[in-house]
């Protein structure tokens, strides 16, 4: 049997060209992959995150934070802390392991602080809700267009849902006002689990 007939080679070439064509068809997306659907919203809105809902209730600026452990000093910063108080209600679908980050108009990405409480967005068991807070250390001169992104990292490249919450900092003036009202110390609340109502 002849293994490499011209037709076989042609079919191979066709597949290679098809691969190239799909790449051409992909839109020029700079910050997101083409397999991500972003649900956009604002503070107070219940946002769907693959069957789970995420709500950001309020945003607070703080000059220092406390974790609530015994005899612990407040952790201060050269910048400023942003605390987002959220609640999540876990749906029946498998939750896509959320990771939270803040992004600004200058494409600076802020990650949550490295603490047990306030370091991530928590999800409870299906049918249960968690009220908690996630805290970020940010550069006060770079908060224009502050947006929370809750991203999921699926193991395979499947259609993924992300959440993007506009935190309402349209310009530096608003940011300055928010920072003037910053609390001197923020006590990070521990996540409270309750039955979703």
Partner 1 sequence: MESLDDVIDAMIADRVIHRHRRKWLIALALVVVLAVVIFFTGGWKEKQGRRVDTLDAPVTIEAGRFEVGISKAIIWRTPKTEYSEAKSRLAVEVQLKNIDEEDRTSTRFDSDLLRWVIPGKDPIKAENVTCKEVIGYILVYGLPAESCVVEFKVSPNFSTDQVEIGVLAERYTADSGLLGASEKPYWHNEQAKAVVRVPTTIETEIEK
Query: Among residues 97 and 107, whose Cβ is nearest to partner 1?
Result: 107
Buried b (16+ CB within 10 A) or exposed e, 87-107: bbbbbeeebbebebebbbeee
What is the C-alpha to C-alpha distance for residues 183 and 103, in angstroms, rounded to an integer? 22
CA 58 to each of CA 20, 30, 89: distance values in angstroms, whole numbers, following the listed order: 46, 29, 17
Site for partner 1 contains 152 (CB under 8 A): no
Site for partner 1 contains 146 (CB under 8 A): no
Query: Among residues 45 and 115, whose Cβ is nearest to partner 1?
Result: 115
Query: Using CB under 8 A, which of 56, 82, 129, 138 touches partner 1?
Result: 138
Query: Using CB under 8 A, which of 100, 137, 148, 150 touches partner 1?
Result: 137
Query: Using CB under 8 A, which of 13, 14, 111, 192 touches partner 1?
Result: 111
Q: Is 70 helix (H, G, I), strand (E, B) or coil?
A: coil
Beta strands 36-42 and 160-166 are: parallel
Query: Among residues 75 and 196, whose Cβ is nearest to partner 1?
Result: 75
Site for partner 1 contains 35 (CB under 8 A): no
Site residues, partner 1 (CB under 8 A):
73, 75-79, 106-115, 136-139, 141-142
């Amino acid at each position: 049997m002849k293994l490499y007939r011209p037709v076989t080679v042609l079919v191979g070439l066709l597949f290679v060209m098809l691969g190239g064509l799909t790449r051409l068809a992909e839109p020029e997306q700079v910050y997101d992959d083409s397999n991500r659907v972003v649900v956009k919203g604002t503070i107070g809105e219940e946002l769907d995150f693959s069957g789970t809902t995420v709500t950001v209730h309020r945003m607070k600026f703080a000059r220092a934070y406390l974790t609530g452990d015994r005899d612990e000093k407040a952790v201060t910063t050269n910048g400023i802390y942003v605390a987002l108080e959220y609640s999540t209600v876990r749906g029946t679908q498998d939750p896509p392991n959320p990771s939270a980050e803040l992004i600004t108009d200058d494409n600076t990405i802020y990650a949550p602080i490295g603490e047990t409480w306030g370091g991530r967005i928590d999800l409870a068991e299906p049918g249960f809700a968690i009220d908690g807070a996630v805290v970020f250390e940010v550069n006060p001169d770079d908060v224009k267009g502050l947006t929370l992104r809750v991203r999921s990292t699926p193991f395979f490249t499947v259609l993924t849902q992300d959440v993007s919450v506009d935190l309402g900092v349209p310009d530096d003036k608003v940011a300055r006002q928010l920072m003037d009202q910053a609390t001197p110390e923020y006590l990070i609340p521990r996540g409270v689990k309750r039955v979703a109502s």
